[in-house]
Amino acid sequence: MASATVRNVPLLDDDTIPFGEEDEMRDPSRAGQKYTHPYVTFFHLFFRGAAILIYMFCGWFSDSFITSFVFVVLFLSADFWTVKNISGRLLVGLRWWNYVDDDGVSHWVFESKNSRVNKNEQRIFWLGLILCPVFWGLFFLFALFGLKFKWLLLVMIAIALNAANLYGYVKCNYGASKDLNSAATDFVKTQLFKNAVDIMTRPSGAPPPTNVRPTGVV
C-alpha cells in the first residue's frame, strides 16, 4: 500500500499502473533471479554514467563546447526522467512528484510502498544515486579552481538534476514528515547501539561480524 505526505492527492495522468501494484505485473519467470528488472537497472546507471563520461572525454572527439554541452544535457535530462519516474518506482518502491491544487498551491508528494524489493537492485539504485553527485561535485571544484566558467554552468545543471532526485528519494525513504537531520541522528544512534550490543554479547575470541551494510544503502 502506498503512503503519501498529502492526503487525497490526485492520480497522475500517466499512471497506467497504479503505484504499489507493480508486483502484480511482474513476470513470474524472473522469480528467484539475481535481477528482477535488468533493463531498468541498466538504464538507471547508463544515462548518468554516459553524461559523466561524455563530460570527461568530449575533448577527445570534438572541440565544440556547444556540441558537448547539448549531449551532456540530453543524457542528464534522460537520466532525471528515468530515475524519477521509472527506476525509483520499480527498483526501490519509492516515488516523489508535485501537483498544483485548485487554489494554485503547489504540493510535493513523497510516496513509499510496502512490497518486495530486490536487494541487488536496491544496492545499485542507491549507489548510483549517491556516487554520481559526488563526481559532479568534484568536477565543480576542478572547473571553479581552473577558472573554466563555461563548464561550471554545465556542472551546476548536472548537480541540480542529480541533487533533486537524491533529495526526493531520501525524503521518501526516511519519511517526508521527518526532519532529515533527526533521521540521520537516529540512524547513527541505532548503529552505535547495535555495535555495542554485538561487542558485549559476542563470545571472547570470536571474529567480528562481516554482514555490515554500507552506510547510505538502505
Summarised one tens digit per residue, pLDDT across range 131-174 is 999 999 999 999 999 888 889 999 999 999 999 999 999 988 88
What pTM, to 2 d.p., does this model score?
Answer: 0.68
Contacts (Cβ under 8 Å, ≥6 apart) of 83: 44, 48, 129, 165
Residue 1 has pLDDT above 50, yes or no: no
Residue 20 has pLDDT above 80, yes or no: no
For residue 94, is it left (φ>0), alpha (ψ between -120 and 50) or beta?
Answer: beta
pLDDT score for 5:
42
Order the strands of the 106-113 sheet from edge to edge.
2-3, 106-113, 94-100
Q: Name the range with the highest mean pLDDT among 15-19, 24-28, 167-171.
A: 167-171
Q: Which among 43, 46, 57 is positioned nearest to 139, based on CA atoms?
A: 57
Percent of the chain with pLDDT over 90: 39
Average pLDDT, integer, range 93-99: 86
Residue 4's pLDDT band (boundaries 50, 70, 90)?
A: very low
Question: Cell 554552468 belongs to which residue?
Answer: 153
> Could you tell me if 55 and 142 are in contact, meaning their C-beta atoms sit under 8 angstroms apart?
no
DSSP letter at 65? Answer: H
Q: pLDDT tens, 102-128?
A: 888 888 888 887 667 888 999 999 999
